[in-house]
Structure 1
Amino acid sequence: MTFMDEAIFLLEPILKHGWFLKGSKPSCSVNWSRGKECVFGAMTPGNGGKLLSKQAKKINSENFIEYVQYLLDENGSQVLFMDNAPWHTSHMTSGFLEEIRDCVEPMYLPPYSPELNPVEPNWKSVRSKLANRLFENTSELQRCLGKALDETKININWERYLGN
C-alpha cells in the first residue's frame, strides 16, 4: 500500500515568522525568476514516515510514469493511492497502468480531499525547512530541497489512520 502526491516548489521565498525592530519597515529580497522544482513523493506504512521522493522539472504523465516505475523498483507490487490529477488519469498513464496491472493496482482518492493523503503533511514540513530563504537559482533550490526532503520524517499512526 503506497500513498503518493506531488508538490511544486518555486524560487520565490516562502515567508514565515520573523523578528524586526519596532518601527522598522521589513523588506524581503525577491528573485523574479520563474524557476521551480517539482517533487513526486510517496509513503508506505513500512517506511517509518520517510518520504520516497524524486525531483523533476515538471509534473506530467511522462514523469509520473517514470516515478511509478521507480516506486515499483523500490517497493515491488503495490496498491497505489493517488488523487485525480490529470497526469494520474491521462490516456498515456491509463495505458501504462493497464500494462502493469499485475504489479500496481491504482486506487483514486475522492476529489478535493487532501486530508485523506498522508503525504500532504510532508510538503508542509519541507516548506518550513525552506522558509525565509532566497535561492539564487534553481540549482541551489534543488540542492536545498533535496536536503530538506532527506531530513523530513512524519510520524503517522498507520493503524489509526487506516482504521484497523
Structure 2
Amino acid sequence: DGAFKVATQVRHTAPHECGFSLRVIRRRAWTKKGKRKKVNGQRKRGRVNVMGALRYNDKKRVCFMIKKGNSETFHEKLKKLHEEIRQEWINLGNLPEDFREKGPKIIIILDNASYHKKKDVIEQVEKELPNIRLEFLPAYSPDYNLIELVWHSAKEYIANREFENKEELEKVVNRLLNEGGLIVKWSRKLKNKGNAVNVT
C-alpha cells in the first residue's frame, strides 16, 4: 500500500469507526432466473471493531482493530496516527525537532460521536498534538465522510459469507483494510436519507 506521502502543507484526514458482525451480511447475489439463492448463516454473536483514518489527497488509510470505540481509544489511536505521519515526514529527510513548526498541519474531519467531542480529549489533543486540528461534520451527515466508502466496500466484499469465529473474521477484515486486499469504488455515490453525494 506504500507509505503516506507527506509534505509541509495541510492534510485532510477522516477518522471513523465501524463494526463488522459475525452475523451474515445479506446482499444482492447472482442466481438463475426464477430461482432464489439460499444463504446459510447461523445467528452468531461477536463483532470486529475498527477505527480507521483515510487521507483525502492520496486515499491512504490506516486502520486499527479496537475492542470498543470510546474517548480513550480515540485519543490513543489519534496519537498513533500523529506519530505515523511524523515518522513519515522525518523519513523524507526532515529533522524531528522541526516537525512541530515545519511539519504538515493535519485537519482531522470527524462525525459528532460524543466521545470525539469530550472536552478533556480536545484539550489533550491541543496540548500533545499541536499539528492536529479537529473539525466536525454537520450533524447527521455521514455521507460527507469519504471513509464510509471503505466500510461499504469491505462489507460488500464479505457479504453472504459465513465466518467460523471472530478470529477468522478479524483476519479477513485486516487483510482487506491494511494489506491492500480491498478495492474501493471511489466513483460511486454515498447515500444518506435519500441524498446522494458524488465523492470524486
TM normalised by structure 2 equals 0.69
Return the match for 2:41 from 26, 29, 46: 29
- Provide the secondary structure at the position in 2 that maps to 1:151: coil
Does the 8 Å contact 1:51/1:122 carry over to 2?
no
For structure 1, the 5+ residue unaligned runs are none
Structure-2 change in CA distance of 1:113 and 1:102 (3 Å): same
Say whether 1:152 aligns with 2:166: no
Amino acid in the other structure paired with 1:5: H
Runs of at least 4 residues of structure 1 off by over 4 A? 20-25
Deviates more, 1:67-76 or 1:14-23: 14-23
Say whether 1:40 aligns with 2:51: yes
Please, what is the CA RMSD of the aligned residues?
A: 2.6
Does the 8 Å contact 1:51/1:153 carry over to 2?
no
Amino acid in the other structure paired with 2:40: C
Structure-2 change in CA distance of 1:161 and 1:138 (3 Å): closer
Distance 1:81 1:106 in 2: 6
Does the 8 Å contact 1:2/1:80 carry over to 2?
yes
2:101 maps to what in 1?
none
2:102 maps to what in 1?
none
2:76 maps to what in 1?
66
Does the 8 Å contact 2:13/2:106 carry over to 1?
yes
Q: CA deviation at 1:81?
A: 0.7
Say whether 1:17 aligns with 2:28: yes
Does the 8 Å contact 1:14/1:130 carry over to 2?
yes
Q: CA deviation at 1:20?
A: 6.3
Q: CA deviation at 1:101?
A: 5.0
Cα deviations by residue, 1:96-141 (Å, 9 ceiling, x for unpaired): 2232352211111111011211111111100011111111111001
Say whether 1:123 aligns with 2:135: no
Say whether 1:7 aligns with 2:26: no
**How many matched pairs?**
158
Return the match for 1:56 from 62, 66, 71: 66
Distance 1:133 1:39 in 2: 19
Deviates more, 1:147-156 or 1:134-143: 147-156
Q: CA deviation at 1:7?
A: 0.6
- Provide the secondary structure at the position in 1 that maps to 2:23: coil
